Amino acid sequence: MPGAAPDLPVVAPAAGAELFAAVPGQPEAVAALRAAAARPVHAYLLVGPQGTGKAAAARAFAAALLCPAGGDATCEVCRRVLTGVHPDVVVVEREGPSISVDAARAVSRLAARSPVEGRRKVLVLADFHLVRDAGPALLKTIEEPPESTVFVVLAELVPPELVTIASRCVRIELRPLSTSTVAQLLVAEGVDPVRAAELAGASGGRLDRARLLAADPELERRRQTWRSLPGRLDGTGATVATIADELVGLLDSSVGPLAARHAAEKAELEALSARAAAVNGKVGRSARGDLAAGVKELEERHRREVRRQRTDELRMGLAVLAGAYQERLADPSGRAAAVAAVQAVDETGRSLARNPGELLALQALLTRLDHR
């Protein structure tokens, strides 16, 4: 209810916290989104590689679109959009490896519904570089959505299947962050410059991962374990099995800081839902239903983040291991073996895209390294 907006409790923003604070290092994209929020069209396409802040940018943009103050202040509406509990901002995430035609049809039905609270509704469509053959099912809706619906389509790139949809959207690019930008942002957040450079190097240019590593006291121990592997393999299957188990244990423990953040996010969502339910006069089953839906969505996102963290961590470990073998390239007597080892590590890294089991992939790699 827009008329009720002045009565909403205003949450004082933390010092320096503003709507697009979660999208650092993207001044052009943020400026474009801010300008767009004042006079929105019906569809936007945010394009940029993984970890460039597309999802955060989409949420901030949605908040600016719904905010009764035009996004100038971080109010209760903005807070609820940013924490993912506003009913008029729906983030559509894929279920399987690509966007299904059924999911595309569900989006069209969703787009046709009126906003719950305000005059506008925002549909954020994630991972649309994976739209495959679901594009045509959505095209008409994205071309001519109901007056009150704004689409924000997210994609890592624009493959041929997305070109037609892309041509109907205002396109906004998010650039990959350079290692030095990631390091600078970490320093601005209080990380020691030497450590910031090291973390930025291990982050693959992804600020989300760099931050996670910064909060991780065990990172150096895990890197050291990977670095020590070449000297530990002794030609026995027992050692291969022991080390492979140990490495999977490292992947488990690398999820620790993420788990702590997830618990905090869940608590915040519960607190916000309780407050929103009170503001909207929702009680009993309706309020519990909102909360249950929000928690389910949050838990699904958390599961995806855990999977991605394990893959990222494994990639980092493989990069450290390849580096350890590369150091041996200088020694002529071991050169051929080192070249073969680097190649084996590299192939394992590329095979991760096919989602093999971690333990099996590591056992196979260690066996190869052991018998070269």
Q: Which is nearer to Zn ion, 118 or 257 (CB)?
A: 118
The residue number whose beta carbon is nearest to Zn ion equals 67
x/- letters, 88..117, toward Zn ion (CB under 5 A): ------------------------------
Q: What CA–CA distances, in Å, run from 307 to 251, 255, 353, 360? A: 10, 9, 12, 16
Amino acid sitting at position 15: A
Closest alpha carbon to 190 in 213, 214, 208, 166: 214
Find all residues with CB under 8 Å of 241, minimum gap 6, and list them.
363
User: Shortest gap between Cβ of 71 and Zn ion (angstroms)?
Assistant: 6
User: Shortest gap between Cβ of 125 and Zn ion (angstroms)?
Assistant: 23
Should residue 172 be labelled a site residue for Zn ion when binding is judged by CB under 5 A?
no
User: Shortest gap between Cβ of 275 and Zn ion (angstroms)?
Assistant: 15
User: Shortest gap between Cβ of 287 and Zn ion (angstroms)?
Assistant: 22
Q: Which is nearer to Zn ion, 164 or 280 (CB)?
A: 280
| Burial class of residue 112 (count of CB atoms within 10 Å of its CB; 0-12, 13-18, 19+) | exposed
Whole-angstrom distance, CA of residue 220 vs CA of residue 202:
11
Q: Which is nearer to Zn ion, 74 or 348 (CB)?
A: 74
Tell me which residue has tokens 């396409």.
45
Q: Which is nearer to Zn ion, 77 or 243 (CB)?
A: 77
Residue 150's SS3 state is strand
Size of the site for Zn ion (CB under 5 A): 4
Whole-angstrom distance, CA of residue 2 vs CA of residue 118:
5
- Contact positions with Zn ion (CB under 5 A) in 56-95: 67, 75, 77-78
User: Shortest gap between Cβ of 21 and Zn ion (angstroms)?
Assistant: 13
Q: Which is nearer to Zn ion, 11 or 339 (CB)?
A: 11
User: Shortest gap between Cβ of 13 and Zn ion (angstroms)?
Assistant: 10
Structure tokens at 201: 């190097």
Structure tokens at 230: 């070449």
Q: Which is nearer to Zn ion, 75 or 213 (CB)?
A: 75
Which residues share a beta bridge with 124? Answer: 91, 152
Whole-angstrom distance, CA of residue 52 vs CA of residue 86:
24
Q: Which is nearer to Zn ion, 64 or 212 (CB)?
A: 64
User: Shortest gap between Cβ of 230 and Zn ion (angstroms)?
Assistant: 55
Closest alpha carbon to 207 in 235, 168, 180: 180
Query: Which residues make up the interface to Zn ion (CB under 5 A)?
Result: 67, 75, 77-78
